[in-house]
Structure 1
Amino acid sequence: MVGSRDLPPSTVSFGTVFFQNQFRAKPQWPAPGTSLSDQTAIVTGSNTGLGYEASVQLLELGLSHIILGVRSLERGEAAAAKMRQLHPKAKIEAWELDMSSYPSVQAFARRCEILQHIDIVILNAGLTRMTFHTCAATGHEELLQVNYISTVLLAVLLLPVLRAKARPRRPPHLTIVSAALTLAAKFQYKDYVPLLPAFDDPQLFHREETYNSSKVLAHCFLWHLCDYVSGNDVIVNLADPAWVRGTDLTRGVEGCAMKLGVKAFGVLTGRHPRVGASCFVDAVVNKGKESHGCFLMSWKIHPFAAYLYTPEGRRVSQRVWDETLQELDFAGVRRILESMKA
């Protein structure tokens, strides 16, 4: 199978990419009659925004069981209650998941082992911030922790669970939410050795670039993950929803002027949340093994960030991979990845 790393890098300007992605691309909705009956899905960050909307769309396709991975059980239960009103026949549960806490991520993954089957996972939990914040539990900068380190930790912990819970000849899907902004990222941390700790330096924080770079890291990780995970076992991909108005992603934006600016930009250019969330549903319902190891944008397979295709980019992505495995050694990720090769 040909993944994103096997494609030639894109040479189109980001301005053109943004215009095409926001205004020209056409949604690819599931075919009429598509049914997720008897299937189980996990969606993180699903009490609000795109995670909530993606969950609703899966339920509209007849999904039988959904787990909402949420930081606040109170808000998660409120979201689940609304979903139950619309889909009373489905089993809808809210499970606690704090992406800033390694023990919480590990406990969530262990809890998934009780499920009989897992067909779909959408790792949507994420955030953006305009100022530097540190996670008290880990000491890492918050965007690095939530958008990347904890997300890939959960993904790796779930891989053997998904393989064990798979149905015959139907590999489960694991989709990590990405962003088209990876294609515009300058990746300012690339020259630092080690690289990941550079995110933790408040002097290097940049309100746009730190977010963009946190998303590039997932491109680096997936580039190498495909050497360990077969699409016959678990289909792993990244999906970009484009810029979407009215979501909770920018809850960390501080200051009235900035909040108003972000809101106005969303009103003028943003996709409707239903359209944005359809990108995740497309990744786990419409796309098959051909999407394994791919970055999906505008409902199509797209190359990774162009920098990764350069000799320097290959070396840097290898460092990201090595440093990530070292950071997550406590959770046995190397052993898990080697077991996925078997």
Structure 2
Amino acid sequence: MKFTLREVIRHQLRPLPEVSTFAVDLTGKVVIVTGANIGLGFETAKHLASMKPAKLILACRTPETGNKAAADITQATGCSTVVCWQLDLSDPESVKAFADKFEREGGGKLDILIENAAVGLFSWKRAVTGWEQTIATNHLGTAHLALRMLPFLLKAEKPRLVIVASDVHYFVTDPNEADTDGVLQRLNDQKQKGKFYAISNRYQVSKLFNVLYARALSSHLPRGTSLTVNAVNPGLCVSSLLRDLNPVVRIPLRALSRPVARSTEVGSRVFVHAAVATELDGKTGEFLQSCKVDEPSDFVISERGASASRRLWTDTLADLSEFDDQVPVGVNRYLQ
């Protein structure tokens, strides 16, 4: 699908259904939302809290803001089962500690995992692992958490994994470069030449990887499972994602986008819809936007896109296995 500026604006202005029209009873269900201390994650968690989950875990990098968010959600909804657990997706040790804690305290099964946490950097920065921060957080960390939580998801009755992508994946420069051996390592080389590898293209690339990875993981799910894995686009929202952008650029960009940008509450509806709407039962490997299944970019659905998805899967497992020896164990045990 080609996504033009006209299409972007059309989607932005499309009214989204109220959460009450597709809400469900989450009694007895365990839910995790990453990056839930502010913005889209916070609004998503607040909506889910109103559905009475047995446990709602806000997975946040900063416990102070996460605890405040949990208290605010409890006060707003009356849900007393909201807690904050520390999680830094860019740090594999943090991901492992989070998964280990869930094994001890999570209740055994996980019904909904919404992977919302992301960064939008516009300058080169490395995570503690040495990986470039955007790829470390938006792709590798997201993939790592999904694989570590897989055993608990597979124990639930109708579990859902929601990976937050974006419509910016339509606009990646030179997307065919994604179908390259060792693309992750190339992205981690600051001297790598080419528009695909430019830091100005990095956020878009990370969101393309979210779509490709969701499709790859879905294709490896065991036969007969009820677990679904989908990528979802919230659209352009008034959020804090641009906070790391130079103010000279950030302020005008926000001013220009404000007329069509969704509020974080409206944007969060697509996450909640992806997590609970009964009309999505059994649908997996899809790209969702405006509370509907939609077609991703022409590259994603092309033969090159399918090849890129397979390469990304293989490279991701190899890179994550260097940090966590339980990744290959889990893949061999739970996936096909």
Same-fold call, TM > 0.5?
yes
Q: Which moved more, 1:109-118 or 1:30-39?
A: 30-39
- Structure 1 residues 79, 13: CA separation in 2 closer, same or farther (over 3 Å shift)? closer
Q: How many equivalent residue pairs?
A: 325
Of the three residues 237, 259, 270, the one matched with 1:279 is 270
In 2 relative to 1, CA 85–25 (structure 1 residues): closer, same or farther, beyond 3 Å?
A: closer
Q: Does residue 1:157 correspond to 2:148, yes or no?
A: yes
SS of equivalent residue, structure 1 residue 202: coil
- Residues 204-213 or 44-53, more deviating: 204-213
Contact 2:19–2:47 under 8 Å retained in 1: no
> Once the 2 structures are TM-superposed, how far is the Cα of residue 159 of structure 1 from its aligned partner?
0.8
Percentage of pairs with the same residue: 27
1:214 matched to 2:193? The reply is no
Query: Which residue in 2 is equivalent to 1:232?
Result: 225
Distance 1:181 1:18 in 2: 10
Q: For residue 133 of structure 1, what is the aligned residue in structure 2?
A: 125
1:194 equivalent in alignment to 2:193 = no
Cα shift readout 1:66-95 (whole Å, capped 9, x = no counterpart): 111011111111111211222344211110
CA distance in 2, matches of 1:146, 1:55: 20
Query: 2:328 maps to what in 1?
Result: 334
Task: Using the TM superposition, give the Cα deviation of residue 207 of structure 1 relative to its aligned residue in structure 2, in angstroms.
Answer: 4.7
Question: 1:21 is matched with which residue: 11, 28, 40?
Answer: 11
1:60 deviation in Å? 2.0
Q: Structure 2: 5+ residue runs without aligned partners?
A: none
2:211 and 2:313 map into 1 onto residues whose CA distance is 10
- CA change 1:319–1:32 in 2 (3 A) is closer
Between stretches 153-162 and 207-216, larger displacement belongs to: 207-216
The counterpart of 1:112, out of the listed 81, 95, 102, is 102
Q: Structure 1: which 5+ residue stretches go unaligned? A: 1-9
Match of 1:309 among 298, 301, 308: 301
**Measured at CA, do residues 153 and 88 of structure 1 come closer, stay the same or move farther in structure 2, by a change above 3 Å?**
same
Instruction: Determine the C-alpha separation between the residues in 2 that align with 1:32 and 1:276.
Output: 15
- Determine the structure 1 residue equivalent to 2:31: 41
Select 2:241's aligned residue among 224, 249, 253.
249
How far apart, in 1, do the equivalents of 2:304 and 2:221 lie? 25
Structure 1 segments of 4+ aligned residues over 6 angstroms from their partners = none
Indicate the residue corresponding to 2:162 in structure 1.
175
When residues 336 and 32 of structure 1 are mapped into structure 2, their CA distance, relative to the original with a 3 A threshold, is: closer
* TM-score (normalizing by structure 1): 0.88
Residues 192 and 324 from structure 1, CA distance in 2 versus in 1: closer, same or farther, beyond 3 angstroms?
same
> Aligned match of 1:59 in 24, 29, 49?
49
Q: Describe the SS at the equivalent of 1:132.
A: coil
Alpha-carbon deviation of 1:208? 4.0
Structure 1 residue 315 displacement after superposition: 2.5
Please tell me the root mean square deviation across aligned C-alpha atoms, in Å. Answer: 2.1
